[in-house]
Chains A and B, each alone.
Chain A
Amino acid sequence: MFIVIIGCGRTGSLLAGNLSRSGHEVVVIEHDPESFALLPVDFSGFQIEGDAAENDILKEGKIESADLVIISTGNDQINYLVSQMAKLNFDVPRIMVRTIDPAVEKMYEKDERVEIFSQISLLAENMINKIEREGMR
């Protein structure tokens, strides 16, 4: 698959490294060049430096050929904007977005095209389930 990853922080770089190792073609877009150092040594995809909220940069990242775009910057608002750009400007078949603030999840409620992965909610849910399960014993 051709995958574009927006944001090369800890999450983005981890995803990029694993997906590249699995054999997918990966392009990473990130505005801070020092973040690229988080990528593993054997990452063999493209690295694009620039503001992902600009159509030109997304095009440079070949988003038009993307099968999947994973949006994972540290800013919920930027993630939202880029998700809409991916959907409406470039018609990417599959869009996955990381959300940080649980309150932001509501923004995507009616959006069938975008799959959200809410880091705090998922984590909290996980921990609570564990606590409750163990509490039962």
Chain B
Amino acid sequence: MDIILVGGGKLIYHLAKKLISKGHFLTIINRDRKQAEDLSREINATVVFGDATNQSVLEDAGAYKADNLVALTQKDHNNLFICKMAMDYFGVERTTALVNNPENEELFSTLGITGIFNITDLVSSIIEQSVVADDVSNLTMIEEGKLSIFQVEVSPDSEACGKEIKEIDLPLTIVLGGIVRNGDITIPRGGSKVQAGDKIVIISLPEEQAEAIKVFGGEE
């Protein structure tokens, strides 16, 4: 896939490395001469030095041929502009923008930007979740943070300890993915019993995470 990446800093550097290692063809557009030079040395990709809000720079970077453009600059308004230009003028099919102001997520989406990374909401939900408890570890995030998969260690004084799954009072929208006991994984059924020290794999919406942790991990 031909991807154009716009932005600078370490994020672009490591992102570019990762994408290339997965086999994508990359062009990076960067506004800072020194950064552009460093990138060109370290990364096996085309590095274009210029301001991506400038149409001729985008054209030079091969926007006509790109399948995907990812705008990761620090400014929402630049990301919007670059993506819109890419879509409307160069016909790039998929555009992704980094968004700092959560309120812009809806606006950008209405304007046709296909991928939006609401960095603020993402980071804040990670922080919130990591603050909750030590024996909770986040496994992964799906759909830009809209779904959480995480793991909770069952505490001896928790509500759930010693009970069967069907007896535990859980919100209906939580799915129990697995019980890890002594290195073995079992898929939980209604009659499965939960013991202290078990690690429960849970799939839930971020809002419900705290509730689920309370039930299995005990009151903190």
Contact = CB atoms under 8 A, between A and B. Distances in A.
A41 interface: no
A137 interface: no
Given A80-B81, A84-B107, A88-B107, A53 B76 contact: yes
B81 A103 contact: no
Contacts of A106: 55, 88-89
B54 A103 contact: yes
B107 A89 contact: yes
Interface in B48-91: 53-56, 75-78, 80-81, 84-85, 88-89
Interface residues of A, number: 18
A87 to B, nearest CB: 10
User: For the side of the interface on B, what is the size category?
Assistant: 20 to 34
A110 B81 contact: no
B81 A77 contact: yes
B110 interface: yes
A107 B84 contact: yes
A89 B53 CA distance: 24
Per DSSP, chain A at the interface is helix
A110 B88 contact: yes
B111 A84 contact: yes
B201 to A, nearest CB: 39
A78 B81 CA distance: 9
A76 interface: yes
B103 interface: yes
A88 B110 contact: yes
B101 interface: yes
B181 to A, nearest CB: 49
Contacts of A116: none
A129 interface: no
Max count, chain B CB within 10 A of own CB: residue among A54, A77, A103: A77
Contact of B88 (A88, A89, A107): A107
Contact of A77 (B75, B88, B103): B75
Interface of A: 53-55, 75-78, 80-81, 84-85, 88-89, 101, 103, 106-107, 110
25 contacts: A53-B101, A54-B101, A54-B103, A55-B103, A75-B77, A76-B81, A77-B80, A78-B77, A80-B81, A80-B84, A81-B76, A81-B77, A81-B104, A84-B111, A85-B107, A88-B107, A88-B110, A88-B111, A101-B54, A103-B55, A103-B56, A106-B89, A107-B81, A107-B84, A110-B88
Interface of B: 53-56, 75-78, 80-81, 84-85, 88-89, 101, 103-104, 107, 110-111
